[in-house]
Amino acid sequence: MKAKWPFLIICLLLLSEAAFSQTYLVVRKKGSMRKYEYFVGSKIVYKQKGQDVFFTDRITEFADSTLVLENNILHTSQITEIDVRGAESNRSKFLGASETLLPTVGIGLMAIDLFNHTVVDGQKFSLDRSTTTTAGILMLTGYTMKIARRKKVNLTNPKFEIYIIGLK
């Protein structure tokens, strides 16, 4: 009975280590901290070598430098471009939230100002110049951030690299 407990504990440790091992795909710009990660089960949008259209597929497995997808099997060298909008990134969550929050705050500020002028103060239908300017700057900043964000990575450009990391 005493010999079973150490054996059981060793088996549980080995199983827990196997449960935490994970393999994932990394797309990054060389010399930069920015990276985009794709895990098993992630949706990937890619352009294959020799094709002009993007394909959408779900990753089912990684093997060496090969992606096993639901409808395709690809080597990493066959991918020419990736749409990174759906990838996990180390980009600041604050920046991502600001893209949608700033325009919403700008529209809300204009609506509150319009309500304040017409209903509360009893004036005619008008907007305050300084409030409209502030709301416009908020909306413009949010939409500019959304436009400036990287959407696609061209892997034929030598500045970018793609590889599979296996944590075991």
pLDDT at 78: 92
C-alpha 110/C-alpha 16 separation (Å) is 54
Dump pLDDT digits (tens) for 12-50.
Answer: 555 555 445 588 889 998 888 888 999 998 899 999 999
Which pair of tokens denotes residue 44? Answer: 């990937």
Collapse the DSSP code of 136 into the 3-class scheme (helix H, G, I; strand E, B; otherwise coil) and give the result: helix
C-alpha 16/C-alpha 9 separation (Å) is 11
DSSP state of 116: I
pLDDT at 140: 95
pLDDT at 57: 92
pLDDT at 159: 92
Dump pLDDT digits (tens) for 40-90.
Answer: 988 999 999 999 999 999 999 888 888 899 988 999 899 999 998 878 887
Q: Do 164 and 65 contact (CB within 8 A), yes or no?
A: yes
Which pair of tokens denotes residue 138? Answer: 């908020």
Dump pLDDT digits (tens) for 94-153.
Answer: 888 898 999 999 999 999 998 888 877 777 877 788 999 999 999 999 999 989 888 888
Q: Please give the C-alpha separations between residue 90 and each of 35, 94, 126, in angstroms, as whole numbers.
A: 6, 11, 43
pLDDT at 3: 64
pLDDT at 86: 79
Largest distance between two CA atoms of the chain? 88
Q: Collect contacts of 9-18 with beta carbons under 8 A, ≥24 apart.
A: none
pLDDT at 52: 92
What Rg do the C-alpha atoms of the chain give, in angstroms? 25
Does the pTM of the predicted model rise above 0.95? no
Q: Do 132 and 158 contact (CB within 8 A), yes or no?
A: no
Q: Which fold has domain 23-90+150-165?
A: SH3 type barrels. (2.30.30)
